A and B are shown apart, each in its own frame.
Chain A
């Protein structure tokens, strides 16, 4: 599992003309300490050096050009300043005052060149804006992502409500095609941001924003809430899982399936299920059962997901129970209460939850 998390090699189809800038950009990123360059390679949200789709790639090059230019300009200005400070001057009586006129050429030339560069950058950035604002083809898949304090509801709508897929914190998309994301908020403003795929867009209550993403190669791409939304803001991540069209269809079909209740009356699993309906079902939904809450993540296929609590804990049975019992300690202020459970209840609930795959 962890294997898939390792940094990906950049796609091969990168523009040749721009790739010469890559060393310069790398240099810019590594300026104060070479340690950072090594570390940069591991940062999953590093949009500056990594792009895996057409909605972010032109922006990445724009970033390189701007950062490269900034470094060059910074160096030139610093050099000018240092020479201005240290250049040899005939020794002079400090009571002497230089003439006021003169030097205007500095302003004319300096501002002239700056204006010229800025004008070029305006054009370039507008071209990039045009390239990333709209997908190249109409997206066939629309996903609605709703921000909650502090997790993400993910819905694949379908004309037939039975076919609608609802999950949380893990957004699956087919590789190589644009996907339209409709962005909503259930409470406060959040921002949807999967930096290696696209820039961020705010999720504003009362408003439906849209953006598109596309991943050109299969993999897992990290995302993060990028608008301060309260105590759990730091703990609100999501993942985009890009997979082949077949894998995606297989996943979607699996997610559509409601659970059946195979538990023998009086078994531990059945006890766990009853516990769940009593204690969890008011907020959480498990399709095919009485649990139909909409305030919290849909848990129908809980075990298909990699993470718990929006990227806080890996989805293992131990961490799951840890989360249920200690939610308020692990994510203070969350809507998920810390639930007091006896050992018997724990194992029963655990048994029940382990069937949600």
Chain B
């Protein structure tokens, strides 16, 4: 290893970074570990900004929400298993389906993907953390608090009850008088803050934090997926946050945005909601598709077919996705000309999806499949993706959508999309990266069981929903009469959903067993190609002892690929040794040439407190404790000032000013 040289005098503002190696156990490596590791105990727990810790917290929390949402679904499936059942009252059913949707769509689907991306991005990009580690912590804490907030009224029997898209005027002050909708509205604004700061972090991280040499055409597809989703979030989250805030004003202050009697328009809600809602649907599948695009090739023993096409398709999906929100509003009486334009655009959006499907199939076809559990989930996902995509195409046809819309056909479609394209890759992704997360492999035998039970249960549960929809069953009905002819399909669906739940349970058992008894994994148990597999499992706090230099898209396969984007010679053991405090390298947005040595902030509890005060401010708004709200906002501002105070150690201040600070 290289000696730690004393920097020249102006080195606090400009220096040539040392180049060298820092193998495990060397002085440099030990020093790095000291610099980057969090304090032990609850202080460290509260103040850590390590993206790996935050990523895992995201994954675990989102998964807990998945289980809660799943249990809500099972109760509903009991109620719907036969005609005229009375297990639930209509009001209970309405709260359950609303919370099921809210939980799955807002508290599970994106947060779990944020978890993966938080954990994986810096490791895949060859960086030591995200650009804004503290913002990352803030994003998690607010997500957690917003989730708790939205469930706060559930035990009181006053949970949100107007469906996850919460149409006015049913959700307005006249027809929904309890706290139900206020909890939802404020919770969504709060959650929007979390998603927004998370998205800012992803976008900036992609443009600033890639290892030298990792040009824009060498980043993994998961990164493309999350980037696209994050850009979309920045553009559309304000729409839904605004909608919910205006609704809250209507309900609590007495404004008239949606108040029909005073010129307000219920359709404004639908526009604002779906301008957000449609891109959001893509935001919660594109990163999951990225998981498959990155992990599937590992089990096919060849790189993904058509990398550039798949990356472009990812972005094209979102570009078109911004234009098609009207396709949730075909039945609102808009003029046929407008509908035909949006209908056509909705057909077009499936072209990029076709690109991805054929890329995956070609990768399997041309590769040599290795039938490990993650691979089963990814291969199964391809079928579910195709079914969900095709049923989506059917709803793009305006006249047919006038029939399908608001029936169980849509319920089937969105579950194929959300479970098929999100949950299957996520569970597959957990099987795949579990050794990286924990250092242990998951059990293969239980794993295969979990896949087959989940796959069969899923299709048995959700395919018949298509038929229920075609037989005219509207969604969101708490019961039905046996003369409608929906008994059999509903019974099959209910049975299938329980089989699926058993599959999830098997998976959880596998996690529990493997955490204790899984065989030890090396740094690269699947012989995969991407950077996260070049570091030990689990990775050390500093991720990379030296900042790698990347010369190809498949840095770990370079010795064995003899053509294409795998023939460079990346340097993984030797590179920048940055260890004057928490440091990593900042590179240029396209070519990833080194531009700057970035000083990363240390652990801090301010994100926790900012999140806490902000959440309490929202709680105060809910309870009309206005002075409490004011106090909390003030505390929040003070905490933010502490957070933002320029630090000399981070070279945010002039190094020549009078007060001398000790070097970290």
A and B touch in their complex, CB below 8 angstroms: yes
Which residues of A come within 8 Å of B, CB atoms? 5, 29, 31-33, 35-36, 39-40, 42-49, 56, 58-59, 62-63, 66-67, 70, 73-74, 77-78, 80-81, 83-85, 87, 89, 92, 94-104, 106-107, 109-111, 114-115, 118, 121-122, 125-126, 128-134, 149, 183, 187-189, 191, 193, 195, 198-202, 204-207, 209-210, 222, 224-234, 332-333
- Max count, chain A CB within 10 A of own CB: residue among B460, B464, B471: B471
Q: Does B637 contact A (CB under 8 A)?
A: no
Nearest CB on A from B499, distance (A): 14
Please name 22 pairs of A and B residues whose Cβ atoms are closer than 8 Å in the assembled complex, sorted by A.
A32-B467, A39-B489, A40-B471, A58-B399, A63-B403, A77-B357, A89-B368, A99-B564, A100-B307, A103-B366, A110-B361, A111-B351, A131-B399, A198-B402, A204-B266, A204-B332, A204-B333, A206-B266, A207-B266, A226-B406, A228-B162, A231-B94
Given contact pairs A44-B472, A102-B366, A228-B94, a sample of 10 additional A-B residue pairs in the complex whose CB atoms are under 8 Å apart: A74-B386, A74-B390, A94-B370, A101-B564, A104-B306, A106-B359, A122-B347, A126-B343, A129-B339, A205-B266
- Asked whether A77 lies within 8 Å of B386 as measured between CB atoms, the reply is yes
Q: Does B512 contact A (CB under 8 A)?
A: no
Nearest CB on B from A49, distance (A): 8
- Max count, chain B CB within 10 A of own CB: residue among A49, A56, A99, A226: A226
- Asked whether B484 lies within 8 Å of A29 as measured between CB atoms, the reply is no
- Asked whether B393 lies within 8 Å of A118 as measured between CB atoms, the reply is yes
Which residues of B come within 8 Å of A, CB atoms? 89-91, 94, 162-163, 167, 169-170, 174-175, 260, 264-267, 300-303, 305-307, 309, 331-333, 336, 339-340, 343-344, 347-348, 350-351, 354-355, 357-359, 361-370, 379, 382-383, 386-387, 390-391, 393-394, 396-403, 405-407, 460, 463-464, 467, 470-480, 483-489, 492, 527, 529, 553-554, 557, 560-566
Nearest CB on B from A62, distance (A): 5
Complex contacts, A83 vs chain B, CB 8 Å: 365
Complex contacts, B90 vs chain A, CB 8 Å: 231-234, 332-333
- Asked whether B351 lies within 8 Å of A188 as measured between CB atoms, the reply is no
Complex contacts, B340 vs chain A, CB 8 Å: 126, 129
Nearest CB on A from B576, distance (A): 28
Nearest CB on B from A204, distance (A): 5
- Asked whether A233 lies within 8 Å of B476 as measured between CB atoms, the reply is yes
B contacts with A: majority SS? helix
Given contacts A96-B301, A332-B90, contact A189 B359 (CB under 8 A): no
Residue of A nearest to B97 (CB): A228
For the complex, what is the distance from the CA of A29 to the CA of B469, rounded to whole Å? 11
- Asked whether B366 lies within 8 Å of A121 as measured between CB atoms, the reply is no
Complex contacts, A59 vs chain B, CB 8 Å: 399-400, 402-403
Given contacts A97-B560, A228-B475, A234-B90, contact A129 B398 (CB under 8 A): yes
- Asked whether A80 lies within 8 Å of B365 as measured between CB atoms, the reply is yes
Complex contacts, A132 vs chain B, CB 8 Å: 399, 402
Nearest CB on A from B31, distance (A): 36
For the complex, what is the distance from the CA of A58 to the CA of B402, rounded to whole Å? 12
- Asked whether A78 lies within 8 Å of B561 as measured between CB atoms, the reply is no
Complex contacts, A333 vs chain B, CB 8 Å: 90-91
- One of B170, B399, B473, B474 near A128 (C-beta < 8 A): B399
Complex contacts, A66 vs chain B, CB 8 Å: 393-394, 397, 400
- Asked whether A224 lies within 8 Å of B474 as measured between CB atoms, the reply is yes
- Asked whether B527 lies within 8 Å of A95 as measured between CB atoms, the reply is yes
For the complex, what is the distance from the CA of A251 to the CA of B386, rounded to whole Å? 51
Residue of B nearest to A86 (CB): B369
For the complex, what is the distance from the CA of A221 to the CA of B405, rounded to whole Å? 19
- Asked whether A110 lies within 8 Å of B332 as measured between CB atoms, the reply is no
For the complex, what is the distance from the CA of A332 to the CA of B386, rounded to whole Å? 41
Please give me the 5 A-B residue pairs with the lowest Cβ-Cβ distance, nearest first.
A45-B472, A199-B402, A100-B564, A98-B302, A43-B485
Nearest CB on B from A282, distance (A): 20
- Asked whether B390 lies within 8 Å of A70 as measured between CB atoms, the reply is yes
